[in-house]
Structure 1
Amino acid sequence: MVNRLWCETVVPVLWRNPWSYSSINYSNRSCLFSIIIYYLFDDIKELQGIKSFLSMRPLLFDYLSFCRSINVCTINEIICTGTSLSNNRLIIQQKFYGLLMRKCPELKYFDMRSISNSFPEDKTRLETICELNCDTSIDSIYFDELSRFCQHIQRFIIVNNRNPLRGIIKLIEVQKNLKYFEWENDRSGEGPYELVFRALEKKANNLNYLKLFIGCVKDFEYTLLQKILPKFHKLKTLVIDVIGNDKSRFPIVPHHLENLSIQRNSLNVLSSIIENSGGHLKKIAFRPYVLCKSDDNFNNFIRKVYENCPSIEYLTISFSPLEENFTEFEKLLKICKNLKSLLLDINQPTCGKNWKYGGKLLRLLIKSAPTNLKEIRIHNGYSFSFNSLKKFLGKWKDRPALSILIFDLAEYLYGGVLYKSNQ
């Protein structure tokens, strides 16, 4: 028997956002449909083709009174477990959303992707939404309605699977305290993006997180982004994949930026960004396998990091296994004392097992790695001989635990023990 006090403490927490648990298969949860039916029984008892739950006992808690969220896709999945008739599903959805609006004292989270039915009549609950997920395939009438009532969104996530609509641009513009913004294109998403960039420019004084996964843009749009990005004075995290025709140019990042993730560009451009970043970067990441590496100066990139980012904690590095690059890498390890995680991309690997370079890397780590280093991920080109690993583990055993992931071998070193993964 579960303690009632424990339930009274935990149930309100679990039901604050009950539609968001990744471990739950909502399309196979008839018990959740039972709860919905319990609340709506008098309104839908005349409907045909609904699974019967007449024998269900009274609810132990008023679950929906704890709820602070709506997830359209998840709720639709749950309703589908109880009826296969589309007309029934539409009626239940309408009544359930209306009930949620009445029950929820404050609606905080709204995921409206795939919404097709109209908003409940009581729209005043929308005023308290602080997080909104949507996509651009939704009819603009929904965004027009939200713009009237919902003006205090702090976290706004948009998937562009159509053309940017003026309704969604207006919804961005009316926000008074927008701090977190994501725009990500799917395969069918396209521009124009000028209105998106200009709407974001008006939020430059509030945003601290900005993610733009757009891909290729027109030259004038890229020039506009270069102009407005330095205005984001409070921005701490920038995750960006925006490409213009001139890949040698990249917008100047705000000087107080702490986390930078760039999906595609050259090391020379990254070196220039780091040099002009203001010295506050704690995380630099990029995708090694889409990096443009031709004519890049690996040495210069490593040098720019340890000269301009003394507080770096999480770092992606790409270099060829040459002596001068190992020398610069050792300097980085000695200078960047806060370094916690490294992703190493070894460029131009030689054929066969690179025992030589693997052993050199392990010796260098023993000699110069900062005490805060907890994780190393290696992409491309390194292999370790048994003897090198044995010596490394023996010398590392008195230091804090270190995890090493080798992408192609999927081997882990953790706490001085070697594990092999099947993944």
Structure 2
Amino acid sequence: MILPEDCIREILEQLSEDKRTLYSCLITNRTYCQFVVPILWRNPWPTFNSLTNELERIYWKILGKTIIKCLTLETKQKLSNQFQIYLNPSLLQKPLFNYVSYIQIIPVGVINQLIRNNFEEIINYNNGEQLEQIFNKEFWELFIKQCKIKSLEIPNFNIFEYPESKIHLSSLSILKIFISYPKEMIIELSKNVHTLKRIEIFLIYIYEDTMNDIENLFISQKNLKEINFMFIAGQKFIFNNKKSIDYLSNSLKILELCSCICLSANIISSFINLTELKIFYHISLYHDEGIEILSNVILPKLEILSLVNVKGEHLSIFTKLIENTKGSLKILYIHIQKSSPIPSSSIDYYFNIIKSTCPNIEVLPIWLISVFYLKNFEDLLISCPKIRKIIFHFKSIFTPNNNFIPIDIVLAKPILILLSLKSSILLNNIHLIGRWSFSSLDLQEFFELWKEMKRKPLKFVFNNNIYSHYIIRVCEYYHQKGVIKKGTINYTTPCTYYDDSK
């Protein structure tokens, strides 16, 4: 039986994130090739740290040559005749596909990579700066004229100098922009682009009139759902237009704050339909300015809260924010910096708030540091009947007298037994992070009890820094028995000891 082409296309679309499989399909036959090439070329750029330096350089050279082939013959002749740039005869040939026309995502750095990896010798030999500007202009003109762009990181010039941009940016859905870029360009974006669903704003050198222009950009969108503010310490974004606040209060679903809290508590709380809030800090550039305002933020529809690279000393502030979600929270991710202890009083407060205000929680991080918290933990499991994933973190603590206590080992057996007997029937994902102590018999007893209680097959992740063969053997055995469906056991060097692919 031969599948209709529409079915083949749909199947391949479902594999759009699996490039390895798509590359295999590419050489199957002509039909597959015609469907796969446009999918692969939507976002052809290598991801950060995905390749070694040498492989990345080779990748950019091959990619660049293919893109150069897509330049018009007129442009190639101009480079050769006007600027004396020799192009290999193979680059003058017309490509099998117009690959560039399929590109939908353009980060601003890709053009610099294309120039550096394909014309570096020419630029170094000649008038480097002038030639670099010429190449930059030609590549941008190629993309603007031929790509139906969905995601764009705006360059530092008015992209609307190209008349075609008004057409080819008409379906843009993701925009990344520096607030310091020319005012005229932001105004042009407001006039010509109305389809944005996500805006990422880099806050550098903020001026009041620029903030007004950004607010107008917000209002000009038909369906803006996500905003990401990225900024340096000390920068604040102040809303001056009530119309923009009213618009975002109805429209905005996801808010991300990177490196600092740049909005007031009242403004964040005004986004009443917000369902996801993400706060991310860079460890090397940690600025806690404004973090205290989070305890005054009220988001009654928030379902997902992510706090990444935060400090343990601020857990009580985050817990107050959790309390102010009024029971709507479903997914909670808190990643506390490795060297940042947590006050013991903050852990108590956190447990009590989760028990009393989070009946719908499904994904939950926990800090268990001694058996004294077992009763609290049992009450929490009973109070949260929808938990499907639980992440146990092992952390050092501060006592009420601010004495630092480095806890070396946490006994795992009583916790595992409680999980088997008292946790939600939906629970099927357990992560143990840190130095958890249990014997081979303890682990077997847990898995046998899990099996006896007819619980769902389990994803079991154990992240420790002490190598032990018995953990591997026990997990492999219960993986074969179907008690564990997948998982990893990580030591100093992460390793997968049983199948995590099914």
Q: How does 1:314-325 map to 2 (within 5 A)?
A: 314-323=363-372, 325=373
Query: Percent same amino acid at aligned positions?
Result: 22
- What corresponds to 1:32 in structure 2? 63
Query: Cα 1:163–1:391, aligned 2, differ >3 Å: closer, same or farther?
Result: same
- What corresponds to 2:95 in structure 1? 59
Match for residue 351 of structure 2 among 293, 302, 307: 302
Pairing 1:129–2:164 present: no
After superposition, the C-alpha distances for 1:331-378 in whole angstroms (9 at most, x for unaligned) are 2223323212222234547767536x2222222222223333233334
Look up the equivalent residue of 2:439 and give its one-letter code: S
1:297 Cα deviation from its structure 2 partner? 4.9
Match for residue 393 of structure 1 among 441, 447, 452: 447
1:288 Cα deviation from its structure 2 partner? 3.0
Q: Would the aligned equivalents of 2:253 and 2:273 in 1 still touch at CA under 8 Å?
A: yes
- What corresponds to 1:256 in structure 2? 301
Pairing 1:110–2:152 present: yes
Say which SS state the counterpart of residue 436 (structure 2) adopts. Answer: coil
1:119 Cα deviation from its structure 2 partner? 4.9
1:256 Cα deviation from its structure 2 partner? 0.8
| Structure 1: distance between partners of 2:293 and 2:217 | 35
Say which SS state the counterpart of residue 200 (structure 2) adopts. Answer: strand
| Structure 1: distance between partners of 2:140 and 2:133 | 11
Pairing 1:215–2:264 present: no
Q: Would the aligned equivalents of 1:94 and 1:120 in 2 still touch at CA under 8 Å?
A: no
Pairing 1:155–2:198 present: yes
Pairing 1:377–2:431 present: yes
Q: Would the aligned equivalents of 1:253 and 1:277 in 2 still touch at CA under 8 Å?
A: yes
1:280 Cα deviation from its structure 2 partner? 1.2
Q: Would the aligned equivalents of 2:462 and 2:489 in 1 still touch at CA under 8 Å?
A: no
Q: Would the aligned equivalents of 1:115 and 1:138 in 2 still touch at CA under 8 Å?
A: yes
| Structure 2: distance between partners of 1:299 and 1:293 | 11
Say which SS state the counterpart of residue 181 (structure 1) adopts. Answer: strand
Match for residue 70 of structure 1 among 106, 122, 135: 106
| TM-score of the superposed pair, with normalisation by structure 1 | 0.82
1:258 Cα deviation from its structure 2 partner? 0.4
Q: Would the aligned equivalents of 2:305 and 2:331 in 1 still touch at CA under 8 Å?
A: yes
Say which SS state the counterpart of residue 132 (structure 2) adopts. Answer: helix
- What corresponds to 1:275 in structure 2? 323
Say which SS state the counterpart of residue 230 (structure 2) adopts. Answer: strand
Q: Would the aligned equivalents of 1:282 and 1:311 in 2 still touch at CA under 8 Å?
A: yes
| Structure 2: distance between partners of 1:385 and 1:353 | 16
Relative CO higher for 1 or 2, CA cutoff 8 Å, sep ≥ 6?
1
Number of aligned residues: 410
| Structure 2: distance between partners of 1:322 and 1:364 | 12
After superposition, the C-alpha distances for 1:103-153 in whole angstroms (9 at most, x for unaligned) are 23x3221123x6468654213133432101233454545434433323432
Look up the equivalent residue of 1:147 and give its one-letter code: S
| Structure 2: distance between partners of 1:4 and 1:406 | 46
- What corresponds to 2:385 in structure 1? 337
| TM-score of the superposed pair, with normalisation by structure 2 | 0.71
* Unaligned runs of at least 5 residues, structure 1: none
After superposition, the C-alpha distances for 1:8-36 in whole angstroms (9 at most, x for unaligned) are 11112222233365546664322222222
Pairing 1:12–2:48 present: no
Pairing 1:285–2:305 present: no
| Structure 1: distance between partners of 2:99 and 2:445 | 58
After superposition, the C-alpha distances for 1:242-261 in whole angstroms (9 at most, x for unaligned) are 85579386223211110123
1:83 Cα deviation from its structure 2 partner? 0.8
- What corresponds to 1:184 in structure 2? 230
Look up the equivalent residue of 1:227 and give its one-letter code: N
Query: Cα 1:281–1:200, aligned 2, differ >3 Å: closer, same or farther?
Result: farther
1:319 Cα deviation from its structure 2 partner? 4.3
* Unaligned runs of at least 5 residues, structure 2: 1-26, 281-286, 398-404, 495-502
Name which of structure 1's ranges 128-137 and 282-291 shifts more when overlaid on structure 2. Answer: 282-291
